[in-house]
Amino acid sequence: MSVTWSNGFPDLLCGEDSGVFSGESPECSSSDLDSLASTEESIAGFIEDETNFVPGFDYLTRFQTQSLDASAREQSVAWILKVQAYYNFQPLTAYLSVNYMDRFLYSRRLPQNKGWPWQLLSVACLSLAAKMEEPLVPSLLDLQLEGAKFIFETKTILRMELLVLSVLDWRLRSVTPFSFIDFFACKLDSTGTFMGFLMSRATEIILSNIQEASFLEYRPSSIAAAAILCAANEIPNLSLFNPEHAESWCDGLSKEKIMSCYRLMQELVLNDSRRKPTKLRPQLRVTIRSRMRSSSDSSTSSSSPTYKRRRLSNCLWVEDGKGCS
């Protein structure tokens, strides 16, 4: 199955430096360092605003009390990361997807219907994040890779996107840990010698721990600072830095939160047994229609012999909360 990309306006794409998308981080030049003072005000603004782009303080408690299904969230995040790896989306795209999902779940409860609401929400959030950050976006059908138990038609996903937008009050340009890591890397490594590694490794650490519900307790700035500190531990020249001094990087940072997040993150990094995400290929859709329909609408066979995936084409819950028909 060929992948369809939403690229109807190629002339509108900017001609950025290829290094922006190559994963290479710019060195911290003298002019960059001179501008840090003026940048601090902007970073402080991010810190002040970041609480507007995270779930409420009791969101983690809902998972701890099993009011929300932590395993379902973990599976949804794992699926988002698989798609992000397959299409080589930016790390920010994956993080925003999860951010949208968490903020939605804090304000709106999903129906308890055999997992399809989680899958639909994951697809919608990933689609919205990709539209925000990626220059080329696969079609909604191509976003749904092997491993997804349900396949949704485009109109269903679009309705779900509108519901997510409504619940989030259309605030998609979120403050995330990636809003801070370059600034914190420059603060820790003022010479710029290891800045590229710090940013790259911190990004990897942030994504690898995004499935862990425990990190929902921390704000993006604390997560970013903790990730930079963990990355610095792998560089002998920087490993002697006292983590407690990270609070001085900018006004508004909390030493207690940074240290708590850092200890949790360090424990997970030291016990790292993560599996590398496997690239998957989009699979042809499989339709299993109702027995009440005519034989011409009968179900087709899946290209995978192990199981079948259902296509849900009329999810009334998206509009009125009643469920899928």
| Residue 74, CA distances (Å) to 38, 83, 211, 310 in order | 39, 14, 5, 21
Residue 91 is predicted with a pLDDT of 94
Residue 40 is predicted with a pLDDT of 73
- The whole-angstrom separation of Cα 295 and Cα 244 is 68
Q: Which residue has the tokens 């689609």?
A: 127
Residue 81 is predicted with a pLDDT of 92
**Residue 323 is encoded by which pair of tokens?**
């469920």
Say if strands 150-152 and 137-138 run parallel, antiparallel, or are unpaired.
unpaired
Going from the first residue of the chain to its last (325 residues), give the mean pLDDT of each consecutive group of 10, the final group possibly shorter: 46 41 49 62 82 84 82 90 91 95 89 79 94 91 78 91 93 91 89 88 92 89 93 82 83 88 85 49 34 36 40 50 43
CA end-to-end distance (rounded Å), the chain: 28
Contact 284, 1 (CB under 8 A): yes
Beta bridge partners of 137: 6
Whats the size of the chain, residue-wise?
325
Residue 272 is predicted with a pLDDT of 63
**In 45-157, beta strands by DSSP E:** 137-138, 150-152
Residue 219 is predicted with a pLDDT of 92
- The whole-angstrom separation of Cα 292 and Cα 209 is 46
**Residue 154 is encoded by which pair of tokens?**
């485009």
Contact 287, 278 (CB under 8 A): no
- The whole-angstrom separation of Cα 225 and Cα 230 is 9
Q: Please give the distance of CA 306 from its chain centroid, rounded to a whole number.
A: 29
Residue 30 is predicted with a pLDDT of 55
Residue 27 is predicted with a pLDDT of 55
- The whole-angstrom separation of Cα 258 and Cα 60 is 18
Contact 100, 172 (CB under 8 A): yes
Residue in 171, 142, 253, 195 with CA at minimum distance from that of residue 27 = 195
